[in-house]
Structure 1
Amino acid sequence: METPNNPVVSGSTATSSGLTGGVSIAIPGWDEPLTEEELEAIDASVEAASAGRAPNHKKRRPPEAEDSRIETPRRRLPRSSSLSPCQVNEVMRYPSMAFGGRILYSRTTVEVEKSAAELLKKINALKRLTDQVTIGFDIEWRPTFRRGAPLRKAAVMQICCNTDDCYVMHIVHSNIPQSLKLILEDRAVIKVGVGIVNDAVKVQKDYNVSVQACEDLSWLANEKLHHDQRNWSLAHLTEILVSKQLFSLIPLGYSILLVYENLIYLELSCKTWDMLPKPRNIRLGNWEALFLSREQLHYAATDAFASWHLYKVLKSLPDLETNNSEIDNKKEAATSVLL
């Protein structure tokens, strides 16, 4: 390996070898101390140069501080710390409760009569097997957005008595035929739902048919869960009792099972799922349309199914040993309106 030429110091003279190695420069007295005159001249030059610049008040970090800032990472609190940002937009998400059976949709008088007659046969068969027959019941009507405008007639009636079938009847086009009237007036058939007494009053007013043997899920929930006169919503009851969420998902596909006399049977495939539009948009939609949309059918069917299912869940809960006389009086007062 070739050794580079180094400066040679001898006495008061320094000799430096150039890059080509052929030229040498001698600097006399380079290692002698500076005199007072030379130091004053240097200070005067520095002051003159500083006077021409704006003062810099920013403190400069020493080199070792710069190095330590780069090499040492900042300490941060973990995300689980109580001082971490609050996740205000996070919402508890439950699995969805969705009706997965057949939706039996009928809209003309002939169709609704045949559909109700089939339902009546199922109810009579259940009567031979059990002491009490329960059906989930609900109605829908087109909302009015004008202040002081009267309510529209009940347009859709949905009934569910098991996990397999749900009947959605477009009564605004068909009225209430005889077989359906027999079901509604049968005191041996318990109709259950949230706010069902108000629904029964509306059916009485709109169609002159008395809906008998109604049991409000809110009353039953107050008895079982020890709440005093709380008005439960169907969605809240679903979350409390079965940790499910209503109307969050819908199946995309459906197939026509049977068509006779224009009576359409729909079976939801429950294979492909998609996000459902906001329930408010469906609930406040046009229930008097010539045909109901797929979303409306699913909304109505799930509503009736949830009422039937939650009633079964509530009845399975043990009774609390409390005085429910106030709730009983309220139930009797509301039921007397229907008589």
Structure 2
Amino acid sequence: MNQSIVAHQVQDHRYRNYDVYFYGDSILIIVTADPEIVTHWITDVEFDVSFRDVVGLDIEWRPNYGQTQNPVATLQLCVGHSCLIFRLLHCHSPIPQSLVTFLDTYTFAGVEIEVDVEKLERDHGLIVSYSVDLNEAFGLVYQIRKNAGLKELCSVVLLKEMVKPAHITRSRWDYRFLNEEQVEYACIDAFVCFEIEKRLNTSGYGCNWL
């Protein structure tokens, strides 16, 4: 099995910690709805000397049925082997200014990221100022137009297979507490976005064109 999750024993009720393992990579995850914990995560990222100003981004929400358009429930951000899962719907304090500034300052990578960016602004007033769509970056490197999902890009660029079961993809992301399958899924999506961008950047597309 190429992916797994291990929960930490944490005494602080404001967050939960996990390690997710994906093809030998270990990713430390913080799951929280607390603005102060979000700020701590951002501060740690910005003080990391290896931070390249690029962040993997993904979002999840309760599946839409009929005309219902459910709001973004979780925001996943990943830098290196550190991932934040911010449970936006359960944040009962104002969204921290640290996150607003973070989203306005750095470059965020994802598949069809313009959809996620628009939904974050519409649902929560969060503005992502700089973004890169991984399909466009792939086209610049390989000179091939591609309209692929994250799973296919992961297979082509990283040579790794993602597991994306439908019962998790379309699960209740708006629940107060995410289960371990949801945490693992959400983390790996953001981590793979970060890793694909890093690989494509190394191959020469460069994020300076954004």
TM-score norm. by structure 2 comes to: 0.81
Are 1:208 and 2:134 counterparts?
no
Residue 237 (structure 1) aligned to one of 133, 153, 165: 153
Deviation at 1:231, TM superposition (A): 1.1
The total of aligned residue pairs comes to 186
Per-residue CA shift, 1:40-77, capped at 9, x if unaligned? xxxxxxxxxxxxxxxxxxxxxxxxxxxxxxxxxxxxxx
One-letter amino acid matched to 1:123: V
**Partners of 1:242 and 1:130 in 2: how far apart?**
20
Residue 226 (structure 1) aligned to one of 143, 147, 156: 143
Residue 151 (structure 1) aligned to one of 65, 69, 74: 69
Are 1:182 and 2:101 counterparts?
yes
Can you give the 5+ residue segments of structure 1 that lack an aligned partner in the other structure? 1-93, 248-277, 320-327, 332-339
Deviation at 1:119, TM superposition (A): 2.3
**Partners of 1:193 and 1:144 in 2: how far apart?**
21
Give the structure 1 partner of residue 30 of structure 2.
104
Give the structure 2 partner of residue 292 of structure 1.
178
- List structure 1 runs of 4+ shifted beyond 3 angstroms: 94-97, 129-132
Residues 95, 106 of structure 1: CA spacing in aligned structure 2 closer, same or farther, 3 A cutoff? closer
Alignment of 1:39-118 (within 5 A): 98=22, 100-107=26-33, 111=34, 113-118=35-40
Q: Secondary structure at the match of 1:245?
A: coil
Deviation at 1:95, TM superposition (A): 5.5
Per-residue CA shift, 1:88-147, capped at 9, x if unaligned? xxxxxx96682632210102xxx2x12221222133324xx479411111100101222x
**Partners of 1:182 and 1:318 in 2: how far apart?**
28
TM-score norm. by structure 1 comes to: 0.51
Deviation at 1:199, TM superposition (A): 0.4
Are 1:198 and 2:115 counterparts?
yes
Name the Cα RMSD after superposition: 2.2
**Partners of 1:244 and 1:288 in 2: how far apart?**
29
Residues 151, 294 of structure 1: CA spacing in aligned structure 2 closer, same or farther, 3 A cutoff? same
Deviation at 1:318, TM superposition (A): 4.0
Per-residue CA shift, 1:276-331, capped at 9, x if unaligned? xx621101000010100100001000010000011111111145xxxxxxxx8xx8
Per-residue CA shift, 1:201-255, capped at 9, x if unaligned? 1111111121111111111001111113x212111111111211112xxxxxxxx
On the 8 A contact 1:282/1:299 being kept in 2, the answer is yes
Could you tell me the percent identity over the aligned residues?
25
On the 8 A contact 2:75/2:85 being kept in 1, the answer is yes
One-letter amino acid matched to 1:101: I
On the 8 A contact 2:62/2:73 being kept in 1, the answer is yes
Residue 125 (structure 1) aligned to one of 30, 47, 54: 47
Can you give the 5+ residue segments of structure 2 that lack an aligned partner in the other structure? 4-20
**Partners of 2:30 and 2:85 in 1: how far apart?**
6
Residues 120, 103 of structure 1: CA spacing in aligned structure 2 closer, same or farther, 3 A cutoff? closer
Q: Secondary structure at the match of 1:160?
A: strand
Residue 189 (structure 2) aligned to one of 303, 322, 328: 303
One-letter amino acid matched to 1:157: L
- Structure with the greater alpha carbon radius of gyration: 1
